[in-house]
Amino acid sequence: MLNISKFGFLANGGDPHIVMKPNVHRYNLEVAKRLKLARHQANLTQAALASCLGQPQSFISKIETGERKPSLVEVALICIELRVPLSVIVPRALRAAA
């Protein structure tokens, strides 16, 4: 049986050719939590960060609550504004699975 659970994947019946998608919702929530923490550590409000990105405050709010799933480019741009490496925001298991 193929063991790839460390990447957050589940093998279907042990068949290495049938692999389920990772728990995307869990990763989105983890990214949201890390972005919010980084924003707080940077002493920025949602409105201030959003303004730097040319977006409304609701853009950041929806990402942080998990209502909106940001693209990799959006996460990277937020990281640039927060002066935080992308590797701090993206969970290790997700980076390893890529």
Mean pLDDT by 10 residues, the chain (98 residues): 42 48 80 96 97 97 94 96 94 64
Residue entry with tokens 């409304």: 56
pLDDT of residue 18: 47
Residue 19 CB partners (closer than 8 Å, separation 6+): 4, 9, 10, 11, 12
pLDDT of residue 25: 81
Tally of domains in the chain? 1
Residue 51 included in any domain: yes
Residue 15 included in any domain: no
pLDDT of residue 94: 63
Residue 92 included in any domain: yes
Residue 36 included in any domain: yes
What is the domain extent for residue 41? 23-97
CATH code where residue 38 lies: 1.10.260.40
Residue 2 included in any domain: no
pLDDT of residue 67: 93
pLDDT of residue 93: 66
